[in-house]
Structure 1
Amino acid sequence: MSKTSRPHLIRAAEIKALPEQQHLHQFNRRAVRMTRGLGTAAGLERIGIHLIRLPPGHDSTQFHSHSADEEFIYILEGRAIAEIGDLECEVGPGDFIGLPVPSPAHNLRNSFAEDCHYLVGGERNPLDVVDYPRIRRSMLKRPRRWVNWDDLNEID
């Protein structure tokens, strides 16, 4: 499908028919989420929006922060534990998390018996630095790819 032929409207039945893609985080084996990409399907290029299903016992990602990309999370169904900086609290349907830049480190953890469904969205800036404070790592997002700073050669 060409960029110009993407629909601007995706009906509920079409969203349900979108395949779920499993995302595994490279720094957290417990971070397993099932994703349906809505933004790209609707032709958005500067904003990423995804419908997420977080199974019980899993994290959404590795606890991290962004230097350039703002994000949001809106809980649709189920519950999770939100970690936002030093805050840890239960979130449920209708709860909204806004993460302006520079964002506090954050993560969702599903410690409950049912799936947690949420909408997540954020900017797609060409450059972003993502810090993972608990594991003392950083990643640089460049256009269409990620660079692991720990694998770069030293610069004189």
Structure 2
Amino acid sequence: MIIHPEDVPEYTTTVYPEPFKNVVAGRIKQRLGSFAGLKNFGVNLTKLAPGSASALRHWHSSQDEFIYVLTGEITLITDEGEQILTPGMAAAFPAGEANGHHLVNRSGAVATYLEIGDKTPGDIATYPDDDLMAIENSGSWVLTRKNGQPYANESK
């Protein structure tokens, strides 16, 4: 199937509850893989506005992630520190490797990248810097505090 990105809907929503939603304000995704009918892994074309982040810093117990920078400049933040990524650079995050990571656009221009990840059921996302955890449950994410308590209607 041939995909024209202009035909794929953009979305800016997030599963993050308050007070975390503002971290990804300015992130726009297009679910290219889902649009094409892929079921085993996802491919997103993602745009990050200046000042926006891809996600909260996290790592996955069961799901691999891979990103490839297309345009702009983004800062990759991991347990090892920070590294600037530019077009043509890629980064991989193997499942089960407890190395929290995310991307932040500290430049003055929009950056775009492809993000690719598998859809292994039962994955747990750990957020080392925040009181948050996410558990994959039948294709959706259940987000709670680290002690298991839900964020009760805090995202009104």
TM value normalised by structure 2:
0.84
Contact in 2 for aligned 1:78/1:115 (Cα 8 Å)? yes
Contact in 2 for aligned 1:81/1:109 (Cα 8 Å)? yes
Instruction: Give me the whole-angstrom Cα distance separating, in 2, the residues matched to 1:126 and 1:59.
Output: 25
Shift of 1:9: 2.2
Task: Report the RMSD for the aligned CA atoms in angstroms.
Answer: 1.5
- Residue 121 of structure 1 is aligned with which of 101, 116, 122? 116
| 1:3-152 correspondence to structure 2 within 5 Å | 8-10=1-3, 14-24=4-14, 25-26=16-17, 27-32=20-25, 33-103=27-97, 104-149=99-144, 150-151=148-149
Shift of 1:146: 1.7
Unmatched runs of 5 consecutive residues or more in structure 2? 151-156
Q: Which has the larger radius of gyration?
A: 1
Instruction: Give me the whole-angstrom Cα distance separating, in 2, the residues matched to 1:73 and 1:91.
Output: 10
Instruction: Give me the whole-angstrom Cα distance separating, in 2, the residues matched to 1:147 and 1:30.
Output: 19
Instruction: Give me the whole-angstrom Cα distance separating, in 2, the residues matched to 1:41 and 1:17.
Output: 9
Identity %: 29
TM value normalised by structure 1:
0.84
Deviating 4+ runs (over 4 angstroms): none
Instruction: Give me the whole-angstrom Cα distance separating, in 1, the residues matched to 2:44 and 2:113.
Output: 8
User: Which amino acid in 2 is paired with 1:29?
Assistant: N
User: 1:37-67: per-residue Cα shift (whole Å, max 9, x none)?
Assistant: 1101111101010000000011111011100
Shift of 1:28: 4.4
Unmatched runs of 5 consecutive residues or more in structure 1? 1-7
Flag the structure with higher strand content.
Answer: 1
What is the count of residue pairs matched by the alignment?
Answer: 142
User: 1:93-144: per-residue Cα shift (whole Å, max 9, x none)?
Assistant: 0010011111321000001100010000100011101011101432111112
Instruction: Give me the whole-angstrom Cα distance separating, in 2, the residues matched to 1:110 and 1:124.
Output: 26
